[in-house]
A and B are shown apart, each in its own frame.
Chain A
C-alpha cells in the first residue's frame, strides 16, 4: 500500500512501500553480508576486513526492542522543517534494536505517543511516517510505535 507521498530528501532507496509492506532497506554487502543503514552511498563494505564493493537492498526487520528513547520539547533548528503556519509539537524519538539484525536504528515515534507510553525493552514496530517540509509538502519518512501486543513477542534480541 502506497499513498504516493515522495520520500524525504536524502532517503531515496532507504525504505520500501507496496504490497509486501513498509520496510527499511539496508545495503547488504554482496561479498560478506554486512548490513548498512542507511545504505552506503560510497562503494565499500563497513567491515574493514572485507573488500566487497557492491551492496544490494535488503529489507530489515519491522519489529525490535526499544533500546532507548527521548523527546524533543523545543523545535530543532534548521534544516529540521518548520511548515508555515504551524506550532511546534513535541515528539518522541526512539532507538530500536531490530529483532534479527541487532542493529539499533533511530526514528521519530509516531505522532501522539508520549514518552510516558514508552519503556526500554518494549517491542516496537516500524510504521510509515510523514514529515511536512518547510514549504508545507508531505514527505515520507519512517516512524516507530509500540507494537500492539508486545507482551507476546519472543524475539531473540535483548534490551
Chain B
C-alpha cells in the first residue's frame, strides 16, 4: 500500500447509543467534540465538515454538515452532506478521504448522528408511487425485517442453518456489547432467551433483529503529514470502496420488488457477475488496499440480523461459502478467536442510527488497532475491515490498518 493512498484516523469519538429522544445534532456535537479532543485538534482547525444526513422526521432536510457547524460555532469551513442509506457514513468518510488525497484539505471532521423512532423503519409520508420504497410498504407491507426474513429462510434452505445457529450470533455479540460503554444494550443474553423472543418475520425473532437507536459517531481524518506532526498517525484508512450493483442483480435487494431476469433468451449484453453485490463490496476494498481476507484480524459487519452476520462471513471471505456456522461455533469470530467479528457488539448491541453506523464501525476498528479497546481488546490487531449494505444499491467496505 503506497503512503499516498491512505489518510490518517487522527481521532474518533462517539455519543453513547440509546433511546434518548433528543435532537440528533446534540449527539453529533458531543461525538464531534470527543473526536477532536481525541485527535488533539481544535474545532477551528477543521477545514471541511462532512455530515451524514438524517431523514428522520422529514426528508433529507436536516443538512447535517451545516447543522453541525452551526452547533459548534460557524468558523467558515466548507461543509458537505451525504446520504447513502445505511452506507451514509461510509460515503461521508469517502468524501473526506478524497478531499485529503486530492490535497484540498488536511483536516476533515466526519460526523453521523440520528434520532430514530421506535419500531419499523417506514418511508416518509405522502402518496409516492414512483418511490420503490413506498411501493414495497404500500403493496406488500414488506418491512426491512421481511426482506431479512427472506434472506434468513434462504440461508436455512441452502446451508442447513438453524434458528439456534442464528441465536448463537446474538449470544456472541451481546457478550461483546456488554463490554462496550457506548453500546445501548449491555446485558449478556442466552440462546434460550433469544429463541423464546417473539417472532417478527419468520424465521427471525425480536432478538435476532437489530433495534433502532439514537446515537452518534465522529472521526477526524487528516493527511498523513499532518497526523505525523501530531503523533496521531498510528491508524490509517487504507481503502474505501462503495461500488453499486451490476446488472443483472440475481437477488431481490430491498426495497425492490424483483430481481433482474436471469433468462438467457434475450440478446442482452450483460453476463451475471462472478460475485454478488455484497461479495463485491469487500473484494473491491481488499483489492484497493492490496490485501486479501487472510490478512484481516478483525471485522465489523452490519448484523441487521443474526443470520446476515453469517452471510457476511462468507461474503467478505472469512470462510468458504457454507462454512459460516462452523466458523461461528469454533469461536473464531468471538472475542479471543482467530478473527473476531463485531467486537463492538455490532448493531445487535447498538441498534441502527443510520448516518452514524459506518462511522461507528471505524471508531471501533481504530480503538482496536490502537490498543485502546479495553476489555474488548483484540491482541495484535493490525488490519480491520468494516462492511455495510443499505437501501437503493448502496453499500461499502472500509479497510483500516496500523502503520
Contact = CB atoms under 8 A, between A and B. Distances in A.
A150 interface: no
B154 A50 contact: no
B130 interface: yes
A113 interface: no
Given A49-B269, A72-B141, A38 B257 contact: yes
A115 B202 contact: yes
A50 B269 contact: yes
Interface string A131-151: 100000000010000000000
Contacts, number: 168
A29 B263 CA distance: 14
B104 interface: no
Given A102-B263, A106-B252, A71 B258 contact: no
B201 A80 contact: no
Interface string A95-126: 10000111111111000000100001100000
B119 A10 contact: no
A62 interface: no
B202 A78 contact: no
B251 A104 contact: yes
Interface string B302-339: 00000000000000000000000000000000000000
Given A68-B153, A71-B202, A93-B150, A76 B141 contact: yes
B198 interface: yes
Nearest to B134: A79
A72 B146 contact: yes
B127 interface: yes
Contact of B153 (A69, A74, A79, A104): A69
Contacts of B4: none
Contacts of A36: 260
A77 B141 CA distance: 8
A159 interface: yes
Interface residues of B, number: 53
A68 B150 contact: yes
B247 interface: yes
Contact of B123 (A67, A69, A79, A104): A79
Contact of A74 (B149, B200, B252, B268): B200
Contact of B268 (A32, A75, A92, A115): A32
Contacts of A33: 265-268
A80 B138 contact: yes
A10 B138 contact: yes
A159 to B, nearest CB: 7
Nearest to A115: B202
A106 B258 contact: yes
Q: Lowest 3 A-B CB distances belong to which pairs?
A: A10-B129, A70-B149, A33-B266
A29 B346 CA distance: 43
